[in-house]
Structure 1
Amino acid sequence: MTNPTPTHPHEGLKPLPQILSNPHFEAIGGEASITQLVDRFYFYMDTLPEVAGIRAMHEPDLNHTKLVLVKFLIEWLGGPKVYSVERGHPRLRQKHMNFSIGEAERDAWMLCMRRAMEDVVSDVTLRQQLEQAFMKTADFIVNHKESKHT
């Protein structure tokens, strides 16, 4: 018996065995460094005038948002499954559909993440790898051709 052709590009993929971990979690320095990265990310979101549009998409108090991003990044970078156990599949695009996200918002988000990585991730190669991965994810979340925040 053959399996039907998956309708979604990732539908037929099975997770890797737990023994094969994503080296980025360890390379970045684990949970402590991810927490520091998220703190710096939101520091820049709070202080850079050019990202005020995406800051306005968030609640005034970022504590819960920071915690969610830390848990997501821990798992996304290959650490323990702390996000999906609590919140299920990330469904990033679906969870961001209530926001108008164009290239300007993507670029503002990436500016904050690049600055945060410059502060926290000393390994240039790792930083470049993470930037590429973040950019792919940020591109995936874009849901409008035109920005409301330009």
Structure 2
Amino acid sequence: MNPAGESDGASMTLFEAVGGEPTFRRLVAEFYVGVASDPLLRPMYPEEDLGPAADRMTLFLMQYWGGPNTYSAQRGHPRLRMRHAPFRIGAAERDAWLRNMRRAVDQLDLEPQIASTLWDYLERAAYFMVNAEDDPAEPA
């Protein structure tokens, strides 16, 4: 896979390679099962129902990996850091997000190269979203 999510030599996007929308819906649904019971992440989602947040994430990931541009058509440019700015995201929140996402990715049982490409992006994105330093007075 190249950085654009296309298979090297085959012009198939990662979106197509994983099976399209159903796979991304499964990934995000599984991720939000974890978020719903995560004491660190759940308070970041003000909606009583996590459905709207899950829909936004699904549309974003599908578009990022070569699927339809529904996310941008509905919400404009992703502006991920700006949209997450109201929330304190430190190392603990990042790690909780990654823990839940790792479990979700593993549930998909993807080919290793595809899973690695997807995970590399998700991990970079999680580190990019950190917007708060850990308080050195608090134990790690």
State the TM-score bracket (shorter-chain normalisation).
0.7 to 0.9
Residue of structure 1 equivalent to 2:6: none
Residue of structure 2 equivalent to 1:137: 125
- Answer whether contact 2:41 2:93 (CA < 8 A) is retained: yes
Which residue of the other structure, out of 35, 53, 56, is the alignment partner of 1:45? 35
Which residue of the other structure, out of 33, 36, 40, is the alignment partner of 2:23? 33
Distance across 2 between alignment mates of 1:113 and 1:56: 17
TM-score, normalised to structure 1, is: 0.78
Distance across 2 between alignment mates of 1:30 and 1:96: 26
Distance across 2 between alignment mates of 1:72 and 1:22: 19
Q: State how 1:18-97 maps to structure 2 within 5 Å.
A: 23-47=13-37, 51-58=38-45, 59-97=47-85
Residue of structure 1 equivalent to 2:101: 113
Amino acid aligned to 2:53: T
Structure 1: gaps of 5 or more residues: 1-19
Give the CA deviation at 1:29. 1.1
Q: Percent identity?
A: 39
Give the CA deviation at 1:46. 2.1
Amino acid aligned to 1:40: E
Distance across 2 between alignment mates of 1:21 and 1:52: 41
Distance across 2 between alignment mates of 1:122 and 1:23: 14
User: Which structure has the larger Rg over C-alpha atoms?
Assistant: 1
TM-score, normalised to structure 2, is: 0.83
- Answer whether contact 2:36 2:50 (CA < 8 A) is retained: no
- Answer whether contact 1:28 1:121 (CA < 8 A) is retained: no
Give the CA deviation at 1:121. 3.7
- Answer whether contact 1:74 1:80 (CA < 8 A) is retained: yes
Secondary structure, counterpart of 1:65 in structure 2 = helix
Amino acid aligned to 2:35: M
Q: 1:144 to 1:22 in 2, by over 3 A?
A: farther
Give the CA deviation at 1:39. 0.6
**What is the count of residue pairs matched by the alignment?**
127
Give the CA deviation at 1:107. 1.0
Runs ≥4 residues deviating over 3 A? none
Distance across 2 between alignment mates of 1:121 and 1:29: 12
CA RMSD in angstroms, aligned pairs only: 2.0
Give the CA deviation at 1:93. 0.3
